[in-house]
Amino acid sequence: MASAIAGAPPVNSFSESHARGRRLVDSIATVMLWAAAISVIGMLILFVVYLFVQGASAISWHFLVGYPSAADAGGGVGPEIFNSFYVLILTLIFTVPISVLAGVYLQEYAGPGRFRELVQFSAESLATVPSIVMGLFGLIVFVSLFHWHFTALGGALTLTLLNLPTMMRVTQEALSGVPATYREASMALGATKWQTVLRAILPSAIGPLTTGVVLVSGRIFGETAALIFTAGASVSYGASAYDFNPFHTAETLAVHLYSTQREALVPDAAQIANGSALVLLVMVLIFNVTARLVGRQLTLRFTGKAP
């Protein structure tokens, strides 16, 4: 061995000092990245725990199904929970068909050109409109111009305007993810373009489309500003807490949370707001999980393969 002959201690050429320095920087970077990732989880846990601690005491059967109270303590959020789902469903009924068809047109039919750019530009502009401005528009059109006053339908239509661009974008993305070979295969079998879209392309995109609906639904559940002026900040006192008339006022849970915290006369307003926040969070979670399960089933059904 060379070192034995020279009489010097053996030096491992892999442990030079500058290499050690670089290793240290590498370790620090790894720790920082890990800490950043952990803090995201930490904040989520902190947030959820806080909501549970604050809101759990407000939750009772009466709170979940009862009517809100105007002046006394002990009001519930029954109609608000129903309205949140009702407005969501109404909105999806308008949003999904229009945006999916528009997305299919842009992605599969419209060649590159003026018209496609115009639609794209309009959608992007629509997407950047703040929801409070959209709410004001809904107030002017549905509430005043149409004389509907505060209605579930007016709220749903306003939310449709708000969410159309997103859902259209999602559709375009989902369709662009479908391999061109499916189109070729279908056309080569003598299918028309519409048959190809309906039977080969849309079923293949069902997974991303479901994800898109879930994302949009989350936003609809949480939307407040666009609804205060359109669906209103009070519930209708009908025969039951569950009012299916789309022309009645329909305060959602998110709006209720805002209005109780902001202007309620009831002595337990803070308590009700905390409880509402917790219910809203749990509702969104349950909805997301259910929607994903449904999406999985649809994917399995349409593509014969688990996603």
> Partners of 250 in the beta sheet?
235
> Positive or negative, the Cα torsion across 262, 267, 273, 276?
negative
- CB nearer to other proteins: give 7 or 304: 304
> How many chain residues interact with other proteins (CB under 8 A)?
23
Smallest separation (angstroms) from other proteins to the CB of 190: 3
The region of 30-38, 118-126, 184-192, 216-224 touching other proteins under the rule CB under 8 A is: 184-192
Task: Please identify, among the stretches 35-43, 114-122, 272-280, 299-307, the one whose residues bind other proteins according to the rule CB under 8 A.
Answer: 299-307
Sign of CA dihedral 258, 262, 265, 266: positive
Part of the chain binding other proteins (CB under 8 A), chosen from 35-43, 130-138, 159-167, 189-197: 189-197
Query: Which residues lie closer than 8 Å to 102 by C-beta, 6 or more apart?
Result: 119, 123, 164, 168, 171
Q: Of 14, 181, 239, 263, which one interacts with other proteins (CB under 8 A)?
A: 181
Shortest reach from residue 208's CB to other proteins, in Å: 13
The binder of other proteins chosen from 131, 163, 186, 271 (CB under 8 A): 186
Q: Among residues 62 and 193, whose Cβ is nearest to other proteins? A: 193
CB of 72 to other proteins, least distance (A): 58
- Nearest CA to 233 out of 87, 80, 116 is that of 80
Smallest gap from Cβ 221 to other proteins, in A, equals: 31
User: Which among 46-54, 136-144, 165-173, 176-184 is the span making contact with other proteins, rule CB under 8 A?
Assistant: 176-184
Q: Which is nearer to other proteins, 187 or 270 (CB)?
A: 187
Residues 231-270 that bind other proteins (CB under 8 A): none
Q: Using the rule CB under 8 A, which residue among 182, 242, 247, 287 binds other proteins?
A: 182
In whole angstroms, how close is the CB of 302 to other proteins at the nearest point?
7
Asked whether 229 and 198 are in contact (CB, 8 A), the reply is no
The per-residue b/e assignment along 218-256, b for 16 or more CB within 10 angstroms, e otherwise, is: bebbebbbbbbbbbbbbbbeeeebebeebebbbbbbbbb
Segment interacting with other proteins, rule: CB under 8 A, options 159-167, 185-193, 242-250, 281-289: 185-193
The contact mask relative to other proteins for 77-116 (x = CB under 8 A, - = no) is ----------------------------------x-----
- Name which of 10 and 304 has its Cβ closer to other proteins: 304
- Rounded Cα distance between 103 and 115, Å, is 13
| Contact residues: other proteins, CB under 8 A | 111, 179, 181-192, 195, 199-200, 203-204, 302-305
